[in-house]
Structure 1
Amino acid sequence: MSREMTGTDVKRSPSGRGSRWLWLLATAFSLFVLAAASLAAFIQFVPLPVASIPQSTTILDSEGRVLAALQGGVNRRTVALRQISPWLIKATIAAEDRRFYEHSGLDVRGLMRAAWVDVRHLSKEQGASTLTQQLARNLYLSHERTWSRKLKEAWYAAKLEQRFSKDEILEMYLNQIYYGHGAYGAEAASLLYFGKHAGELNLAESAMLAGIPKGPRYYSPHLHYGQAKARQATVLQAMQETRSIGAALAAKTKREEVFIQPLPKSKGQLAPYFVDYVRKLASQYLGTDEKLLSEGGLQITTTLDSRMQKAAEDAIAKQLPENGELQAALVSIDPSTGYIKAMVGGRDYDKNQFNRVFAKTRQPGSSFKPILYATALDERTVTATTRFRSEPTLFYYDDYRKIYRPSNYNDRYFNGEIGLRQAIRSSDNIYAVNTIMQVGPEEVIRMARRLGVTSRLDAVPSLALGTFPVSPFEMASAYSAFAGGGSRTEPVAILRIADRNGRVLFSAKPRKEQVVSPALAYVLTDLMRSVFDTGGTAHRISHLLTRPVAGKSGTTPSDAWFVGYTPELATSVWVGYDRGRTITQSEAHRAAPIFADFTERALANVVPHPFPEPEGVVRTYIDSATGLLATADCPKHRVLESFLAGTEPTESCAPAGESQPEKTEGGSSWWNKLRRWWKS
């Protein structure tokens, strides 16, 4: 066989190799065309998903009336494309999608450039989204940076381009895009920032507005005007590069100052501090992000009573000087349910959003004493007839290593023995410290915890005088147990949260606990009503009250309090300065009138009710001079007093000239025996 005929020597025809490559190319092209056709057919016949249009989240009062939309809620006004300034349209296209009228939803060149940057930097940071893609994302998708989201975004963009014209897509985009501060769409944003309609915007305003969607908070002219101007310059440069404007006009516009309309104030909005509190709670309850709260169309039903809230705001406004810095806070709770009915966190929300209702920086002073006396009554250490001397006294504690020297207000003392009612009526500090030395500060702290006080409290004698800061919220919560017959319900601000379809996402289930006996709550309440009697610390407001009320004032060098209650409401009022500045005597007298004014107006439609007397209470006449049972032989100081059953006196007073049973100072505890021995 010749060499030419061997298999190893046979030369393949060039034309055969070319035919194979042509076949492969033809097959690949056919498959590509088939895939493209299939994709086009799929896009054509598969419908778009339902668009997720942001809706306002509304906050309702207990009667279903709208209190507010959450800060950052949806503000949208839809307009036609012809009602939008041509400058804004040109600026938006230049800044966001220069080839908008040339591509079919996807800018392939931009996409490839962005993909190359992402691959080089191993990230997904590069955008390259067209206006259509941005519209698709806002209508149907989240803003997470994932490849699956990008693919869906491209798919929906293609579908939008297939279904709508370019101008229709641009109109939808300009009505959909977020411009910050709750404003969606060009019309709402134009009114918010410039106080004019979108069709009235000039070039400078249009360029500034077109730059905001890239970072609504960062480029907000309300928050960062300098950054907004820098972004405006970038947009004007883009307009120059796309030949929308010339260099001279761009330079001239950059130099123009843009007038920004002030953000609308909250004046006229009811309960702005409460609204902020509700927003915080809703976020905690749902464990959700800001977007759902702002745009999810949630309906949050609260416990607030709008009429009572108005009464609270008016009462504070009436008592505070119009142009001063004196602040006030008020919170009122329904003791039977724990519902917060009114909340005022300060005098002017627009100037300062700090909610002083929750400030744990203020000493409650003597308004803390009812917690001390509740402890002593509960421990059967003190009763209404327990007597201590009201005089300057030294108290030794911590194994006699420390001395505490309290004093009464203005160094006023009775210089004799007084009972518990007189001590509460006149807010005698010596009596209070004697009581805490009897019962022990640790027990007082345990009682405070039962009543809902969570602030730090140290086991020292000065605790009796309210020297450790607590919040007005804690004080109202504690007093609500006294008003509620010893039963404390965890304070509630939100009743329920429902989504836009009415599905309940959260429903309040407050914890209720009997923290002291109904009998103890009644006895303490009966004693605390004495502050409104002649000589009492709240006597000056007694004429303002037309119903049974119990309460206690508290005054420190920088704080004035009044915490009180009726059977229907427990209310805490604080007055003072934010920086702890010393208050005047006149300023210290403003808390009690705020309480009285609010209570009467809030309950104007409620028939006055007495505090119900439960079982376990004994009411009997005693001789106030001795603390013994009163008889016909000693009627001079005869008063009706309340006791926990079993703690009432059993000995009777003796007529003049007869010997009295020996009285021991402050009872027969080892501490008082030791004190008497020390004095002797």
Structure 2
Amino acid sequence: MHKLVRSQRKPPRSRLLRLMKYTLYSGLFGAAFLGIVLLYLSQTSLPPADSAKNSQLIDLNGQAVTVFSSSERNRKYVDLDEISPWLIKATLAVEDRKFYDHYGFDIKGMLRALLVNLKEMDKVQGASTLSQQLARNLYLSHERTWSRKLKEAKLTAQLEMKYSKDEILNMYLNEIYYGRGAYGIEAASQMYFGKSAKDLDLAESSILAGIPKGPTYYSPYNHMKNAKDRQKIILAAMVETGLITQEQADEAYNQLLSFQSPQQRTRTEEAPYFRDYIRNIVVHELGFEESMLEHGGLRIYTTLDMDAQRAAEAAVASELQNSPDLEAALVSIDPRNGYVKALVGGANYRVSQYNHVFATTRQPGSSFKPIMYLAALESKKMTAVSTFNSQPTLFHYDDNRKTYSPKNYGDKYLGEIDMRKAIAASDNIYAVNTILTVGAEQVIQLGKKMGITSPLEPVPSLALGTSPISPFEMAAAFSVISNQGRKVTPVAVLKITNEEGHTLYKAPQMKEQEQVIEPAAAYVLTQLMESVFEIGGTGNRVSAEIKRPVAGKTGTTSTDAWLVGFTPELSTAVWVGYDKGKTLGTAESRRAAPIFAKFMENALEKVPPKIFPIPDGVVSVYIDSATGKLATADCPDKKLEVFLQGTEPTEFCTEHGEGEQPAEPLPVKDKSESHSWWSDLKRWWMD
């Protein structure tokens, strides 16, 4: 039986022959299929190239506001022999070292990039060849799909079949985007250096070869340090590939380059700083190629409210028109959903494209104090009637090893004051007492929860806003107070579509809002901040221009003036100052408040005034202004004050009349719809 089974098995030689036949047939079939594909590709015409379609910025109402391309598409075609060999070598060294050795795809490069990206758990290295980049720039949208990748592979193969390597390289160097509307190396060479591409030296070539990777980020006009860092990488690549020596690389890097003055746009533009803000998001956060953004026919749907934007631009212009060199920034965010509604980054975009809204070198001054007072209220270590003596004080901290002696503006000291008075008058002595009571670390922790990303130094002077913070961060942080303590991440891009209407990007749906502050604490602070715009407050002089409930805080340093505030619909930060740290005069230091007032009233012109919603956990009681205790009928100066439930005073004033008079804390009443007559009503009621 055993022998019979063995005799029925097929001999090893037979199995080997079958395997060889199978392999041969598979190879022949694969070769035939590949031949058919190659024949098809060779006989199929390439689609017409069209990379001159303007991408549009769409506002919140669906209206096209502006385009991302320059006013004129700058291009001049040149032959390969009219381009400096240095530029060609630099480009190949950094973009595609194996260009003349592959057939459009660098398989080793792809595998190497894959390994690096897997190691870093991020896309830190790409592997697109010049042929692939050219196919993408000439024919494709920016869809991140497998179908687009397949189209790119097909078009790359066709380019390699129909054109020589020199022709592909020549097309690439005439097509690639170098920033500021310059397409192709000849236009770029003329724009940056005022010379023909054939005359570029090694230093100039290595600078220009680095720009296409990020035409804004690596532009010597915008970020010289980034441009020089990229140049160093390119020169090192040329040394590594044996194109130049290390001595040549060092000499080129240290060469002083003479750039042409950047051409200014001559046409009138709407929301130019907002457009640049969106450009940065689309390119650097969402990963779209800048050339695609410039002329790829994209439609960028944003949160921009053009009524608010025009109000912002008009408010800034009205206060800065007679102040040469004075700069300003304004950013306004809807606290309910995080939408960035308006953004002005400077006094004049044509003069300076620097966006001060994101400048992290400016001290917010006293406009930072509400974050500290919020920490005091929420911790229940202090209330609105907590008092400190406003007088010259030498503070000891760090286990009495250090001292700090702040001063009030104009050396004005108010004596014994409570938190409401301290916020309204912006008293520095009270503020430092507060941060030493609460603890700087707790204030810093709360600031981070509210959206402050700039580093905050845990020292007593933090109470006076000595740690630099951008206007954008301030507006985002104050939006949390306006939104009853709920944090919403700011958003500016809602959706991106291509020219066919296919969605390439859609903002994630807003998650449930994070409650980072107790609603009652946010409301009590809001009530205290309203005092800034009342009699005795630092914002009182602009209160007549604001016809709705508004809360805010001014801030002034020797070089910066701020007003950051909010209504239920908008959280707005306004900054005014000089670049290079020039000291502000008295007149200039008072420009932020009227900009804020004009903007808020005009931006909300069509919106009925609304009160700040009153959450649970808030009580109001009448207190005696002198003692901070519960007022009796005999107290001559009593006022209605708000507290977190459980922190209100429990003792009655005994300094007036013949003794205690029973009273109960009163519930907070709804506020009126108009800020002006609400203030009058409060004063009438208290009288």
Q: Same fold (TM over 0.5)?
A: yes
What letter matches 1:306 in structure 2? M
TM alignment of 1:30-41, pairs within 5 A = none
What letter matches 1:357 in structure 2? V
Cα offset, 1:138, TM superposition: 6.9
- Which of 152, 160, 178 is the aligned partner of 2:158? 152
Cα offset, 1:227, TM superposition: 3.9
Cα offset, 1:291, TM superposition: 2.9
* Aligned match of 1:390: 390
Look up the SS of the partner of 1:579 in the other structure: helix
Whether the 8 Å contact between 1:619 and 1:642 is mirrored in structure 2 is: yes
* Aligned match of 1:426: 425
**1:485 and 2:484 equivalent?**
yes
* Aligned match of 1:237: none
Distance in 2 (CA, whole Å) between partners of 1:398 and 1:386 is 24
Distance in 2 (CA, whole Å) between partners of 1:576 and 1:336 is 30
Cα distance change of structure 1 residues 458 and 307 upon mapping to structure 2, 3 Å threshold: same
- Most deviating of 308-317 and 283-292: 283-292
Cα offset, 1:294, TM superposition: 2.6
Whether the 8 Å contact between 1:74 and 1:182 is mirrored in structure 2 is: no
Whether the 8 Å contact between 1:622 and 1:638 is mirrored in structure 2 is: yes
What per-residue deviation string (whole Å, max 9, x for no partner) do you get for residues 622-671 of structure 1? 1111101111121x1111111111111111112537699xxxxxxxxxxx
* Aligned match of 2:356: 356
What is the CA RMSD across the aligned residues, in angstroms? 4.1
Structure 1: which 5+ runs fail to align? 1-34, 78-87, 97-113, 159-172, 184-188, 190-211, 232-259, 661-680
- Which of 41, 44, 47 is the aligned partner of 1:47? 44
Cα offset, 1:296, TM superposition: 2.8
Distance in 2 (CA, whole Å) between partners of 1:216 and 1:76 is 6
TM alignment of 1:530-549, pairs within 5 A = 530-549=531-550
What letter matches 1:642 in structure 2? V
**1:446 and 2:415 equivalent?**
no
Q: Which has the larger radius of gyration?
A: 1
Cα distance change of structure 1 residues 95 and 126 upon mapping to structure 2, 3 Å threshold: farther
Cα distance change of structure 1 residues 51 and 433 upon mapping to structure 2, 3 Å threshold: same
TM-score normalised according to structure 1 size: 0.68
Distance in 2 (CA, whole Å) between partners of 1:565 and 1:463 is 22
Whether the 8 Å contact between 2:264 and 2:350 is mirrored in structure 1 is: no
- Which of 180, 185, 193 is the aligned partner of 1:224? 193
Cα distance change of structure 1 residues 62 and 448 upon mapping to structure 2, 3 Å threshold: same
- Which of 31, 41, 64 is the aligned partner of 2:62? 64
Look up the SS of the partner of 2:159 in the other structure: helix
Structure 2: which 5+ runs fail to align? 1-31, 84-88, 105-132, 142-148, 165-170, 201-259, 661-687
Whether the 8 Å contact between 2:330 and 2:357 is mirrored in structure 1 is: yes
What letter matches 1:445 in structure 2? I
Cα offset, 1:460, TM superposition: 1.2
Cα distance change of structure 1 residues 566 and 149 upon mapping to structure 2, 3 Å threshold: closer
**1:599 and 2:600 equivalent?**
yes
* Aligned match of 2:584: 583
Look up the SS of the partner of 1:571 in the other structure: strand
Look up the SS of the partner of 2:284 in the other structure: helix
Look up the SS of the partner of 2:311 in the other structure: helix
What letter matches 1:643 in structure 2? F
Cα offset, 1:73, TM superposition: 9.0
What per-residue deviation string (whole Å, max 9, x for no partner) do you get for residues 349-405 of structure 1? 222211111111111111000000000000001101111111111111111111111
Distance in 1 (CA, whole Å) between partners of 2:657 and 2:613 is 41
Cα offset, 1:499, TM superposition: 2.4
TM alignment of 1:257-656, pairs within 5 A = 263=263, 265=265, 268-322=268-322, 324-415=324-415, 417-509=416-508, 510=510, 512-634=513-635, 636-656=636-656
TM-score normalised according to structure 2 size: 0.68
Cα offset, 1:322, TM superposition: 3.9
Look up the SS of the partner of 1:223 in the other structure: helix
Cα distance change of structure 1 residues 61 and 631 upon mapping to structure 2, 3 Å threshold: same
Cα offset, 1:74, TM superposition: 8.6
Cα distance change of structure 1 residues 607 and 44 upon mapping to structure 2, 3 Å threshold: closer
Look up the SS of the partner of 1:639 in the other structure: strand
What per-residue deviation string (whole Å, max 9, x for no partner) do you get for residues 179-214 of structure 1? 97676xxxxx9xxxxxxxxxxxxxxxxxxxxxx844
Look up the SS of the partner of 1:222 in the other structure: helix
Distance in 2 (CA, whole Å) between partners of 1:65 and 1:573 is 27
Distance in 2 (CA, whole Å) between partners of 1:342 and 1:372 is 27
Whether the 8 Å contact between 1:178 and 1:216 is mirrored in structure 2 is: no
What letter matches 2:50 in structure 1? I
Distance in 1 (CA, whole Å) between partners of 2:99 and 2:380 is 71
Cα offset, 1:474, TM superposition: 0.7
Whether the 8 Å contact between 2:558 and 2:583 is mirrored in structure 1 is: yes
Cα offset, 1:570, TM superposition: 0.4
* Aligned match of 2:99: 124
What per-residue deviation string (whole Å, max 9, x for no partner) do you get for residues 152-181 of structure 1? 3253459xxxxxxxxxxxxxx9xx967976
Q: Structure 1 vs Structure 2: percent identity of aligned residues?
A: 48
Distance in 2 (CA, whole Å) between partners of 1:321 and 1:213 is 39
Distance in 2 (CA, whole Å) between partners of 1:529 and 1:139 is 57
